[in-house]
Amino acid sequence: MFLLFLQYLFVVVTASVIFEDCGSAYELHEVNINGCGRRLPCYITLGDLVPVTMHFVSEFESRKLDQDVLLNINFITLRTNATPEPCATVHCPVRSDAVTSYTSVMTVPTNVAANRRGFLQWRVYNDENRLVLCYSVLVQTQTWLQKYLRSFIIYGNQRCFCKSLESNRH
């Protein structure tokens, strides 16, 4: 039970990625990218569908939100598909002075080189074409095999650590 609590605590603490705000009019509190913790770079797998959640406080109402997701790898910028649009999951108009959260699923392009670092930039515009949310995250591309091996190494070490904790308890 204690180990389960520690694991839960670990997940909660590492859920938000380290991001750089690039001119948000709204107050961006937290960005969660599925599979990324607080360590940089955030590994993204070519061809993968990645849920991304943002938590923000709006300073003013917006009737509509549109997102623009860009991936810049090796000085090549690619537009990346992300669905659904924010107002499909958030009640629009977005209320002011309230915490709002929404999740979109990003499709990682397959036409970029593997094992390369770059930046994911997520921009959200309102109905007046004003940039209301903007952030950038350091990412590194990986293949499915690299993802599998990384998860095996990370979770394999975690299992070894948990086994050593259990043996010390007895």
Whether pLDDT at 20 is above 60: yes
Q: Find out whether 120 and 153 touch, Cβ atoms under 8 Å.
A: no
Which CATH architecture group holds 2-169?
A: Sandwich (2.60)
pLDDT class of 63 with cuts at 50, 70, 90: very high
E strand intervals along the chain: 20-21, 27-33, 42-45, 49-57, 65-73, 76-80, 82-83, 99-107, 117-126, 131-142
Q: State the average pLDDT over residues 37-55.
A: 95
115 sits in the region (left: phi over 0; alpha: psi -120 to 50; else beta) called: left
Q: What pLDDT score does 154 carry?
A: 65
Instruction: Let me know: does 131 contact 24? Beta carbons within 8 Å.
Output: yes
Q: Work out the pLDDT band at 97, boundaries 50, 70, 90.
A: confident
- Do the beta carbons of residue 70 and residue 54 sit within 8 Å? no
Confidence of residue 162 (pLDDT cuts 50, 70, 90): very low
